[in-house]
Amino acid sequence: MNIVKFKEVVQQYKVVFFDAYGVLKKHDGMIEGVKEMLHFLKDEGIEFYIITNDASRSTELLAANYHKAGIDIIQADNLVSSAVMSMEFLKENIQPGSSVAYLGRETSEFFIKGADLIPVRIENVERKDYNTLGAVMLFDDGGYDFHPTINKTLNVIRGTDVPVVVANPDLVYPVSDGETAIAIGSIANMFEAVANRKFFRFGKPDVAVFKYAFDTVNAKRKVAKRDILMVGDTLATDILGGNNFGVDTALVLSGSTIEKQAEHMIADSGIIPTHICNSVVD
Ligand SMILES: [Mg+2]
């Protein structure tokens, strides 16, 4: 396995797409040296975007979290979230003014209101409301009393035939070194199996979020796919998505894929990154 220095690799590109967890930050905060690395990119004239499956809050609030951690260079405009793709879906498919039931945190209501729809916490949906719903949104694993709300959501999904949209398809997320928690993508899989329905999913590895980021870059200046590097720690989302979209990819070993497993995970999955780096601060 040929591990190369990120700093050397990145200078071959004009634009970098970063994953967030396991790349720029960990469960206990930002990875040391990320701030300096982002300033290095800026000085080199390399643009960067963060493509995240975090649908728990708006890109403004996500940017504010980076500012709290002392990284002011990351602005809302640098963030592309899977929830933005879900909002685009709602805009195109759901009658304006309809109610949309959601599972997650109130900070995700932003994406329903942004589509001119009315957010309703799924806990508050009653059987008589079923025929007023335009869609059901699954945003996050937190922000609700888990057991009763999961059962409530299942019954809403079974009792209606409106589109169910998964705004973050991730199955797990890291909570501490070596420990993971169930993410909303896993909960969605369970609902889908039990209700025997097919849901709409947005976020990596689906290419729509990469296309959205690509179009955003190209609205400002012309860049080709070969000018872009996607950097991520997860083969099945970041690297597969980048490869499918047709940009070069760099797997970093600072998150969900550790060095001693990387080689056989790449061989078993057939998902081959263009480059492998220890981390973005290496
Ligand atoms: Mg990650």
Using CA atoms, how far apart are residues 192 and 206, in angstroms rounded to an integer? 18
87 CA distance to ligand 1 centroid (A)?
22
Q: Using CA of residue 35, residue 180, residue 187, residue 100, what is the dihedral sign? A: negative
Q: What CATH number is given for 6-53+206-277 in this structure?
A: 3.40.50.1000
Closest CA to 253 of 227, 225, 226, 275: 275
Q: Where in the chain is the domain with CATH 3.40.50.1000?
A: 6-53+206-277, 83-201
Ligand 1 centroid–CA 125 distance in Å is: 33
HSE at residue 229, side-chain half, CA atoms within 13 A, is 25
255 CA to middle of ligand 1, Å? Answer: 6
Q: Span 102-111, mean pLDDT?
A: 97
- Which residue from 140, 130, 137 is spatially nearest to 101, judged by alpha carbons? 137
- pLDDT at residue number 46: 98
Helix (H, G, I), strand (E, B) or coil at 135: strand
pTM value is: 0.91
Neighbours of ion ligand 1 (CB under 5 A): 19, 21-22, 233-234
CATH number of 83-201: 3.40.50.1000
229 C-alpha to ligand 1 centroid (Å): 15
The average pLDDT across 77-91 equals: 95
**Average pLDDT, integer, range 265-281:** 97
Whether 65 shows a pLDDT value over 80: the answer reads: yes
Write out pLDDT tens, residues 180-236.
899 999 999 999 999 999 999 999 999 999 999 999 999 999 999 999 999 999 999
Q: How far is the CA of 23 from the centre of ligand 1 (A)?
A: 6
For the cut 90, the answer to whether the pLDDT of residue 179 exceeds it is: no
Query: Is there a contact between 140 and 106 (Cβ–Cβ < 8 Å)?
Result: no
Residues 97, 236: Cα–Cα separation, whole Å: 37
- Look up residue 266 and give its two tokens: 């790449």
Gap from CA of 208 to ligand 1 centroid (Å): 18
Within 10 A of 198 (CB to CB), how many other CB atoms are there? Answer: 9
Q: How far is CA 97 from the centre of its chain?
A: 27
Token pair of 261 as six digits:
């497993």
pLDDT for the residue 180: 87
Q: How long is the chain?
A: 282
The answer to which of 42-56, 164-178, 189-203 has the lowest mean pLDDT is: 164-178
> Is pLDDT of 178 > 80?
no
8 Å CB contact between 234 and 268: no
For residues 172 and 131, the answer to whether their CB atoms sit within 8 Å is no
- CA 228, CA 155: separation in Å to the nearest integer? 44
Report the distance separating Cα 91 and Cα 68, nearest Å: 32
Return the pLDDT at 124.
97
Kindly list the distances between the CA atom of residue 241 and the CA atoms of 52, 81, 270, in Å, as whole numbers in the listed order.
12, 14, 13
Q: How far is the CA of 138 from the centre of ligand 1 (A)?
A: 20
* % of the chain residues with pLDDT over 70: 100
pLDDT at 162: 97
